[in-house]
A and B are shown apart, each in its own frame.
Chain A
Amino acid sequence: MSALARYVAWPPREERPALLPFPLPQVAGPAWAAWRRHRAAYRTVIALALVCGLWALWEHHQLLAGVHHYADACRKVRQSCDPSGDQSGGAHQPAPPRVPVVVHTLFDMAPSVLRFLPLVVGALLGGPLFGQELEAGTHRLAWVQSVGRREWVAVKLAVATGVTAFGAVVLTAPVSWWWYASWRGHGRPGLDGYAWRAVTWWNDWDFFAYTGPVGVAHLLLALMIGAVTGLLVRRTLPAVAVSAGLCEAVLFGLGRLRSHLLTPYVLRHGYGQLAPSQPRDAWYLGGGYVRADGSLTTKDPCAGPGVKDIMTCLRQHHVVGQYDSDFRMSQFVPLQLIETAICLSAAAALAAFCLWYVPRVTAR
Chain B
Amino acid sequence: MSTTSGAAGAPPAGSDPPALEARGLGIRNRDGWALRSCDFRVPRGAVAGLVGPNGDGKSSLLAVAAGLRAPTEGTLRVLGHRPGTSPVLPRVALLLQDRPLHAAFTVAETLRYGREMNPAWDDATARSVVAGADVPLRAKVGHLSGGQRTCVALALALGKRPDVLLLDEPMADLDPLRRHAMMAALMTVNAEHGTTVVMSSHILAELDLVCDYVLLLAHGRMLVADDVEFVQAAHTLVTHTLDGQDPPGSGAAYGRRTGAAEGDPGGSLPDELLGHTVVEARTTGRQLTAMIQLPTSLDGAGAAEPPTLEEILLAYLRNPEAPPLLAPADEPAAGATARPLLPRGQDAESDR
Given known contacts A141-B96, A145-B160, A362 and B69 CB-to-CB distance under 8 angstroms: yes
Interface residues as binary, B66-105 with A (CB distance below 8 Å gives 1, 0 otherwise): 1111100000000000001010011011101010111111
A363 to chain B: closest residue by CB = B68
User: Nearest chain A CB to B104's CB is how many angstroms away?
Assistant: 8
Most B-side CB within 10 Å, residue of A28, A40, A143, A145: A145
Of A6, A136, A147, A364, which one neighbours B63 at CB under 8 angstroms?
A364
Complex: how many Å from CA A144 to CA B92?
8
Complex: how many Å from CA A37 to CA B113?
10
Complex: how many Å from CA A146 to CA B86?
8
User: Nearest chain B CB to A133's CB is how many angstroms away?
Assistant: 9
Is B183 close to A, CB under 8 A? no
Is A32 close to B, CB under 8 A? yes
Which residues on the B side are within 8 Å of A23 (C-beta)? Answer: none
B100 adjacent to A137 (CB under 8 Å): yes
Name A40-59 residues within 8 Å CB distance of B: 40
Range of interface residues on A (Cβ < 8 Å): 20 to 34
Is B264 close to A, CB under 8 A? no
Is B3 close to A, CB under 8 A? no
Is A30 close to B, CB under 8 A? yes
Name B298-321 residues within 8 Å CB distance of A: none
Is A33 close to B, CB under 8 A? yes
Is B114 close to A, CB under 8 A? yes
User: Which secondary structure dominates where chain B touches chain A?
Assistant: loop
Name A120-157 residues within 8 Å CB distance of B: 136-138, 140-148
Complex: how many Å from CA A147 to CA B118?
7
Interface residues as binary, B111-122 with A (CB distance below 8 Å gives 1, 0 otherwise): 011101111100
B101 adjacent to A146 (CB under 8 Å): no
Is B109 close to A, CB under 8 A? yes
B116 adjacent to A32 (CB under 8 Å): yes
Of A136, A137, A147, which one neighbours B117 at CB under 8 angstroms?
A147
A29 adjacent to B101 (CB under 8 Å): no
Is B148 close to A, CB under 8 A? no
Of A136, A138, A140, A146, which one neighbours B89 at CB under 8 angstroms?
A146
Complex: how many Å from CA A36 to CA B59?
29
B90 adjacent to A140 (CB under 8 Å): no
Complex: how many Å from CA A40 to CA B104?
10
A138 adjacent to B102 (CB under 8 Å): yes
Complex: how many Å from CA A146 to CA B70?
18
Is B60 close to A, CB under 8 A? yes
Complex: how many Å from CA A364 to CA B100?
12
Given known contacts A37-B102, A362-B69, A362-B70, A140 and B116 CB-to-CB distance under 8 angstroms: no
Complex: how many Å from CA A325 to CA B5?
70
Of B60, B96, B102, B103, which one neighbours A140 at CB under 8 angstroms?
B96
B101 adjacent to A141 (CB under 8 Å): yes
Which residues on the B side are within 8 Å of A136 (C-beta)? Answer: 100, 102-103
A144 adjacent to B93 (CB under 8 Å): yes
User: Nearest chain B CB to A356's CB is how many angstroms away?
Assistant: 15
A151 to chain B: closest residue by CB = B86
B95 to chain A: closest residue by CB = A144
Which residues on the B side are within 8 Å of A28 (C-beta)? Answer: 116
Interface residues as binary, A340-363 with B (CB distance below 8 Å gives 1, 0 otherwise): 000000000000000000000011
Of B63, B101, B118, which one neighbours A145 at CB under 8 angstroms?
B118
Name B144-191 residues within 8 Å CB distance of A: 156, 160
Complex: how many Å from CA A295 to CA B116?
66
User: Nearest chain A CB to B72's CB is how many angstroms away?
Assistant: 10
Given known contacts A36-B109, A146-B119, A364 and B86 CB-to-CB distance under 8 angstroms: no
A143 adjacent to B67 (CB under 8 Å): yes
Complex: how many Å from CA A27 to CA B60?
35
User: Nearest chain A CB to B60's CB is how many angstroms away?
Assistant: 7
Of B68, B98, B119, B120, which one neighbours A144 at CB under 8 angstroms?
B68
A364 adjacent to B69 (CB under 8 Å): yes
B114 to chain A: closest residue by CB = A145
A148 adjacent to B89 (CB under 8 Å): yes
A140 adjacent to B68 (CB under 8 Å): yes
Given known contacts A33-B117, A146-B119, A148-B86, A140 and B105 CB-to-CB distance under 8 angstroms: no
Which residues on the A side are within 8 Å of B63 (C-beta)? Answer: 363-364
Complex: how many Å from CA A143 to CA B86?
11
Complex: how many Å from CA A28 to CA B94?
23
Which residues on the A side are within 8 Å of B116 (C-beta)? Answer: 28-30, 32-33
Which residues on the B side are within 8 Å of A146 (C-beta)? Answer: 89-90, 117-120, 160
B153 to chain A: closest residue by CB = A141
A147 to chain B: closest residue by CB = B117
Which residues on the A side are within 8 Å of B112 (C-beta)? Answer: 32
User: Nearest chain B CB to A43's CB is how many angstroms away?
Assistant: 13
Complex: how many Å from CA A138 to CA B105?
12
Complex: how many Å from CA A142 to CA B63?
13
A138 to chain B: closest residue by CB = B100
Complex: how many Å from CA A140 to CA B97?
11
Instruction: Please list the residues of chain B having a beta carbon within 8 angstroms of any beta carbon in chain A.
Output: 59-60, 63, 66-70, 84, 86, 89-90, 92-94, 96, 98, 100-105, 109, 112-114, 116-120, 156, 160
A and B contact pairs by CB, cutoff 8 A, 21 listed: A28-B116, A33-B116, A36-B102, A136-B102, A138-B100, A140-B100, A141-B96, A141-B102, A141-B156, A142-B117, A143-B84, A144-B68, A144-B96, A145-B114, A145-B117, A145-B160, A146-B117, A146-B120, A146-B160, A364-B59, A364-B69
- Since A146-B90, A147-B117 are in contact, a sample of 12 more A-B pairs with Cβ atoms closer than 8 Å, ordered by chain A residue number, is A36-B105, A40-B104, A136-B100, A141-B156, A144-B93, A147-B118, A362-B70, A363-B63, A363-B68, A364-B59, A364-B60, A364-B63
Counting from the closest, the 3 A-B pairs by CB-CB distance are A146-B90, A145-B117, A363-B68
